Structure formats: C-alpha cells, structure tokens
Amino acid sequence: MTSADTRAAVIPADAATPRAAAVAPGQIDPGIGRDATAGALATPRRRGRERAVRAGEKRAVFGNNWLGFAFAIPQLLLIFTFFYWPASQALYWAFTLQGPWGGANTWVGLDNIRAVVTDPVYWDSVVRSLVFAFLSTGLSMLVALVLALLVDRELTGNRIYRSVLVWPYAIAAPALGRAFRFMLAPEAGLLAFINHLWPGIWNPTINGNEALAAIIFAFAWKYVGYNFIFMLAALQAIPRSLLEAGAMDGARPLRRMVDIQVPLLTPTLFFLLVLNITDSFQDSFGIVDIMTGGGPARATNLMVYKIYFDGFKGLDYSGAAAQSIILMLLVVGLTFIQFRFIERRVHYT
C-alpha cells in the first residue's frame, strides 16, 4: 500500500473506526471533530458531496428559473391587485384629506392619524377588539381541542363528526350573523324562555356586555370547525406508541391528553392561534353588521366595523384610511409578538 493510496482512502463514517487508520503516517492530523470520512487532501466540495451521498440524500436543483416565475405570476397578480394596490391607496388617503366626491386631495401629513389616536372612542374600540379577539379565539380553540381529543379517541359517531364539524366555517359571516340574531333574540329567539323566567335578564339590544358575548359566541362557533380539523389532523400524526407507552405506565386518558398529546400539538396550536387572532380582526365584520350594528352605545364597535361606518356612512374616507393602516399595524404587531414570545414554547418534533 503506497502512501498515496492511504491518503486517498475513503473510510466509512463509523464511530468505531480508529482514527489513526485515517491518517497516513507523516500526514497532518485532519483534526479532532473533522468528518472522519474526509481524506486529508479531499477538497471541501468533494467532501460535501460525499457527505450528502453518505447521508443518502440527493440535492435537486430546479434549473428553469423562468418557468418558476411564470407559475408564481398569477398569485403575485392577485396579491398585487387585492392587497398592495388598495393598501398603497389607503396609505395615500391616510395622509391626505379626501373629499367624498373625489378631487381636492390636500396633503395633511399626520393630521388624520393624530385625530384618530387622540379619540377616546377609538381606544375604546381597540380595547373591545382585543377583548373580542382573545375571548373568541380562546373559546373556539378550547372547544375545538376538546372535540378533537374526543374524536381522536374514536368515540361513537366520530366518523360523522369528522365530516360535519367543519361545515360552519364555510358559512358566510352575514348569514351566520342573521341566524344567530334570530336565535339570540330576547323576545322571539331560542333564549326567550330565559326572559320568561327572569324578565329582562337577556337583552343584547340594550346591554352592551351581552351584545359582546353574543358576537363572541357567534364568531367562536364559526371557527370551532376550522380549528377542529387542524387539531384532529395533528393528533393523528402523533405516534400511537407514545400513548400506548403512557397507558402502560398507568396514565389515565386525561393525563395522557394533558401530558403527551397537547404538548405535541403545540405547533398546530400556535399556528391556529396566529390565524384565529388575525381572522378575528377582520372576519368579524359581517357578524357585527348584522347582529348589533356596532351598538348598543358602541359596545360592539370593533375596529373593523368602525372603519366601515366612518368611511362609508360618515363619508370620512381619510379617517377610515388612517384607522385601517393602524389596524394593519396592530395585527402585524400582534403576530410578531406571538412569533417572538410564544413560539419558543412550542415543541417542534
């Protein structure tokens, strides 16, 4: 065996191989920690490729850039038309004073934004929107989690629940609002019997907190199905062996759920949290418009509804544009906070 052969010898990446055999006599030790498969004179590229081959992967490179871009164009066009263009218009309107009938766009700088942030009613609306977002998300995810865990345990009827529970998500918010308005009406709805027992106890047309509860309930109901589907899929991806191991160790179903299933579910829960909170800021419009109209006494005046009312009924396009910019920043900020602080508690497998 010549020294050249030894140098070029490729030795399997086996931890048991003595390191001394990889180094030909007289050669510099490649160093502790270096990949034992690499020969002393092997170039970095060859080393990388060899490493990849070792690991059993093949790197695929899509050489046709033009085709990739062509695939992306329809989506880019949609995003441009329905997001970037209106958003840039809103940004422009937020810094000018718009007359309702067009023309007369005078630049006013930060005046519109200042008018919005110094308005106590606006902050009241922000607080209500946050309360709505967190309560409806919490309610909807809790119920969906319970349902998903129960269906996962293959209780009776689980095949039906699987298909049926997601249907509410497909209902348009105004239709949902109308149905719930009827159901929760204090005199004619399903809850009317409560008012017979204790007169006047349920009246969302005059009691602000009850109106807020009504829209939270309606919105949460819509998203239970959506959350349920994702959670169920994620639960089914958890290896059965883990649960069986837990059962063998004597853990009861509830303990298994809390200690094994839910922690492994955290990536999905995090994803759903971000989506639910974002949706609660904009999908709630239809429900508020039909069920309460922002009232009573502004109790359900969520930010998104206030934008519509001020812009289209009050004909204050500039103020509404300023509010929508602030809403966008708020949602972006909330998402950022979630990614920064909550994601580190997520257990990714």
**Which H or E run includes 217?**
helix 208-236
Backbone φ, ψ for residue 48 (5° rounding): -65, -45
Residue 193 binding other proteins, by CB under 8 A: no
Residue 293 binding other proteins, by CB under 8 A: yes
Residue 319 binding other proteins, by CB under 8 A: yes
Number of residues counted as binding other proteins (CB under 8 A): 38
Residue 289 binding other proteins, by CB under 8 A: no
Candidates 128, 181, 222, 256; binder of other proteins (CB under 8 A) is: 181
* Contact pattern for other proteins over residues 77 through 116, marking x by CB under 8 A: --------------------xxxxxx-x-x--------x-
- If the CB atoms of residues 12 and 103 are measured against other proteins, the closer one turns out to be 103
Residue 191 binding other proteins, by CB under 8 A: no
Q: Closest distance between other proteins and the C-beta of residue 83, in Å?
A: 20
Backbone φ, ψ for residue 201 (5° rounding): -75, -35
Residue 312 binding other proteins, by CB under 8 A: yes
- If the CB atoms of residues 45 and 196 are measured against other proteins, the closer one turns out to be 196
- If the CB atoms of residues 68 and 314 are measured against other proteins, the closer one turns out to be 314
Binding residues vs other proteins (CB under 8 A):
97-102, 104, 106, 115, 121, 181, 185-189, 192, 203-208, 291-293, 295-298, 309, 312-316, 318-319
